[in-house]
A and B are shown apart, each in its own frame.
Chain A
Amino acid sequence: MEKVVDPKIYFRTAIALLLLLAATWMIAYINLGLFNLIAALAIAITKAIVIALFFMHIKGSSRLLHLAAIAGVMWLLILISLTLSDFLTRGWTQ
């Protein structure tokens, strides 16, 4: 038999995720200006991290897997930020 995770952890993870979903849904109905977007993204990132850590067992995995999990996101940030360095400096944003 392999060592397995305590079921409680999975249940807690799921409850946390559902609560985060409720939070993001509710915040959308309050006008917070730019903060709406920031809150939505922050919650989405938190959900992603929670899923990766507990459902995908990144917690307790080797550093190599941590690196592999982060690499894709890092490269996506390179793609987005350098492309925006063009679009945000063109002078035709509203």
Chain B
Amino acid sequence: MNTTTTIEAGLVHQQFDDIGQQREAAKLGMWIFLATEVLFFGGLFLSYTVYRFVYGHAFVEASRKLDVVIGGTNTAVLLISSLLMAFAVRASKLDQRRMLTGLLLGTAFLGCVFMLLKGVEYHKDYVDHLVPRMGFKWEGADPGNAELFYWIYFAMTGLHAIHVTVGIGILLVLALLAWRNTFSNGNHNTIEIAGLYWHFVDIVWCFLFPLLYLVGHR
């Protein structure tokens, strides 16, 4: 044991030898969890890919009805929220309590903006008769295949939206804890782990946006 570990001693759980081992284990655990998340979304990406190959033309047609402005704006919103999150992790390492709380709240706020825009878009889809089984109407050819596209669209964006919602919840709790000075003196592991999750959710959207909104040329 060296001198720096005296402050950290209270933070190290009994099963670990030192804070370094604890942090490494937590980070590895989170990355393994993210690998499972890739495959959790993966089932839907697989379905998308298969039907994209089989019904390529119908998918391109169906995709043109989606609102690319909302989708694109949402991409930018998430990217900027990721930037704030990265700075939040930095602030936690530098022990800047106010900064950390603010950045976490900012990230959560942008998450809420994303969800709001998503809600507006879903409503628009409903009005345009694009929700499968809920008054789905399709004027063009292959209405069945178009409905399949919209089923996958709602499944993928819906699963993503659930992840964003969970993320917002986590961020708000962390912001409260950060305000109460929970993450001082090197106890920043939780923030870093939450950050990894938030960035991952952002990455998923980076794929959803082009695959769903920009299937072929518009």
Contact = CB atoms under 8 A, between A and B. Distances in A.
Q: Taking the complex as a whole, does A directly touch B, i.e. does some CB pair lie under 8 Å apart?
A: yes
Interface of A: 1-2, 4-5, 7, 10-11, 13-14, 17-18, 21, 24-25, 27-32, 36-37, 40-41, 43-44, 47-48, 51-52, 54-56, 61-62, 64-65, 68-69, 71-73, 75-76, 79-80, 83-84, 87-88, 92-94
Nearest to A32: B217
Interface in B46-96: 46, 49-50, 53-57, 68, 72, 75-76, 79-80, 82-83, 85-87, 90, 93-95
Given A14-B80, A79-B42, A25 B196 contact: no
Contacts of A55: 82-83, 85-86, 195, 199, 202
The binding surface of chain A is classed by DSSP as helix
A39 B86 CA distance: 27
A17 to B, nearest CB: 5
A17 B50 contact: no
B99 to A, nearest CB: 12
Given A79-B39, A87-B54, 15 more contacts: A14-B79, A21-B209, A28-B217, A30-B217, A32-B217, A37-B216, A44-B207, A48-B203, A55-B202, A56-B195, A65-B31, A69-B34, A72-B34, A73-B38, A75-B35
B217 A31 contact: yes
A87 B53 contact: yes
Nearest to A25: B72
Interface string B5-44: 0000000000000000000100110011011111100100
A40 to B, nearest CB: 4
**From B75, B93, B206, residue with most partner A Cβ within 10 Å:** B206
The binding surface of chain B is classed by DSSP as helix
A36 B188 CA distance: 42
Contacts of A43: 210
Contacts of A29: 217-218
A83 B94 contact: no
B119 to A, nearest CB: 22
Nearest to A1: B94
A18 B79 contact: yes
A92 B214 contact: no
